Amino acid sequence: MAWVQRHRYEFIFAFFAFHFAVAGLSMAKLNSRVWPKRLAAPAAVYARTTGTGAGFGFFSPAIPKEVQVTFDVDTADRGLIHTTLQEETVPEVSFRVGNMIRLMNRHFRQEKVMRSLAASLSANIFSRYPSARTVTLNAFIYDFPSMEEARNGKRAEPKKVYSVKFGRATT
């Protein structure tokens, strides 16, 4: 134990060197090819466990756009209500809602897929608001500025990419 105490700074340095090597090689997409054989497996386990092997794609200029979905609910008794599914659901359902919104993120240029997802999501809102006459789903992506634009003060702005209005079916 005394040996460990005497060399604790070397252990700390070695840990940080290993961590930043895993992260740096992951960003450069070289992580599996450059490790010596005896370090390859521990580096792979460490990268998966800590997330340092994720590649850090958010630094990329081709960042995927994040979709935000909002609803305008026109009710007979309360007027116009602006809401989101996250506000209308319990936390357990929020994860499934997030999955559906991520589907929209991948398919926002495909009309049939978007219409189907929009109808499903809007049906949930109709069930929450029995007096709703119409539900309008609006999907936005955030347009991120370039680094130069950000330095000049420009901020991410929502851009409407899809909007559809559903009416309550009458019997």
Q: What single string gives the DSSP state of each residue in 155-171?
A: --EEEEEEEEEEEPPP-
Q: What residue has token string 């991520």?
A: 102
So what's the pLDDT on residue 48?
75
So what's the pLDDT on residue 132?
92
So what's the pLDDT on residue 86?
72
3-state secondary structure of 150: helix
- 33: CB partners within 8 A, 6+ apart: none
Q: Which residues of the chain have pLDDT under 50?
A: 58
So what's the pLDDT on residue 71?
93
So what's the pLDDT on residue 81?
92
Q: What residue ranges do the domains of the chain occupy?
A: 2-56, 67-167
Average pLDDT score, the chain: 78
Between CA 117 and CA 162 the distance in angstroms is 12
CA 33 to chain centre: 29
Between CA 76 and CA 135 the distance in angstroms is 12
pTM: 0.55
So what's the pLDDT on residue 108?
60
* DSSP-assigned states of every residue in 12-80: HHHHHHHHHHHHHHHHTT-HHHHS-HHHHHHHHHHHHHHSTTS--GGGSTTPPPPEEEEEEEEETTTEE
CA 103 to chain centre: 11
Q: What is the pLDDT of residues 91-133, one digit of tens each?
A: 666 666 666 666 666 666 677 888 888 888 888 889 889 999 9
